[in-house]
Structure formats: C-alpha cells, structure tokens
Amino acid sequence: MKGYPESVSRLIDAFARLPGIGRRSAERLAFHVLRESSQEAMSLAQAITDAKTRIVHCPTCWNICDDLHCEICSDPRREASIVLVVEQPKDVLAIEKTGSFRGIYHVLLGRLDPLAGVGPEGIVLEPLLARIDDPSKNAQQVKIEELVLGMNPDLEGDTTALWIAREATKRGVRVTRLARGLASGSQLDLANPGVIADAIAGRTGI
C-alpha cells in the first residue's frame, strides 16, 4: 500500500489546512470521523455546509448573521453614530455579553499583518472608510461621530489601530480606544465581561 486511500488523504488534507492543526492531529481527526457512525459524520458535514451557505455578512458592519437582517444594525435603539471596530465576530459576541455598549460595530475580519503579507486590502477597511464618508452606508443612515478601536492589544492590533486612527482623523471623526484594562497581548474574546465593560467606559482619545 503506497499510502492512504484517496478519499482518506483528502480528508486528512482538509483537516490539516485548519488553523492550529498539524499533520498528526489531522490524521487523528480523520480516523475519528471514520470510526464515528455515519449519522454523526454526516451531521458534522451538514453543520459545515449550513454554516457556509446560511451565514452571511451584514453589508453594513460585516458581522455574521443568519440572513441579511443584522439585529444590531437594524435596532433603532442602538446609537449608530458610535462605531466600535473589532477584528472578529467573536469579539462582538464578547462585548455584547457585557451589555455595556449601546453603539454599533464594524468587523474587520482580520487585522493588518505586514509580516504575513496582510495589507489594508486584505481586511474589511475600505467599507469602514465608506461608512465614514457616506452616512447612507451606515446603519440608520446616521453620520459616524466616534470610532472606538477595539483591536487586540498586541503588535498587529496596534498597527491596525494606528492605520484606522490616521484615516479617521483625516476625515474629522473622533477616535477613541478601549482602555487598557485589557492586559497587553490578551485577547478580547477571552477577557472577562467586567474587564471589557471597564475598557468601554474608560475609553480614551487617541
């Protein structure tokens, strides 16, 4: 036998492409799937298919939602002139759990990482500038008055925050940043809700 059957190799390759999964873990996962009942394996495949086909990005804030109706952007009680910019949908979730932010969001779906070749066009920055420039592209057609930067406090997060702060300031928008109750290098989605709430309340101008 030269190697695994082709379908097994493809499954291992697919797992190996996932972040944080090495070759050996990919093999372990693939053989776990093969040992599972057909029903369990199919429900995994179905969950992946559903997530890919049913989940869309809100055309305004780029958070993920089940259909084009974004609960946050379409809520008239939210203060649409204050936009908190985060890296990932999981950060929105972490902040929403605290219940302490009444503005709306912009999700970058990544961060600037020049060393890894991720420049401004590699994340959702253009649509953010468009929202600033043209209120009709923002939720409730409201002009953005304040951008709160909620990038993770590490090198790439800081690089991204500086880029946005420069562009937003040029456009006359007030820029603030979540207070550094968040330890340097810590991840927003792993911080406890009290710390996040303090970071929102104590946000500082840049």
Q: Which residues are at the interface with Zn ion (CB under 5 A)? A: 58, 60-61, 70, 73
How does 150-175 read in b/e, with b if 16+ C-beta sit within 10 Å?
bbbbeebbbbbbebbbebbeeeebeb
What is the full DSSP assignment across 90-122? HHHHHHHHHT---EEEEE-SS--BGGGTB-GGG
CB of residue 28 to Zn ion, shortest distance in Å: 38
CB of residue 62 to Zn ion, shortest distance in Å: 7
- The long-range contacts involving 18-22, CB below 8 angstroms and separated by at least 24 positions, are none
Query: Do β-strands 64-65 and 103-107 pair in parallel, antiparallel, or remain unpaired?
Result: unpaired
Question: Count of residues for the chain?
Answer: 206
161 neighbors 177 (Cβ within 8 angstroms):
yes
Rg (CA), the chain: 20
CB of residue 166 to Zn ion, shortest distance in Å: 25
The nearer residue to Zn ion, 104 or 182, going by C-beta atoms, is 104
The nearer residue to Zn ion, 70 or 108, going by C-beta atoms, is 70
The nearer residue to Zn ion, 60 or 160, going by C-beta atoms, is 60
Distance (Å, rounded) from C-alpha 117 to C-alpha 110?
12
The nearer residue to Zn ion, 60 or 81, going by C-beta atoms, is 60
The nearer residue to Zn ion, 60 or 152, going by C-beta atoms, is 60
CB of residue 63 to Zn ion, shortest distance in Å: 5
Query: Do β-strands 146-149 and 79-86 pair in parallel, antiparallel, or remain unpaired?
Result: parallel
CB of residue 164 to Zn ion, shortest distance in Å: 18
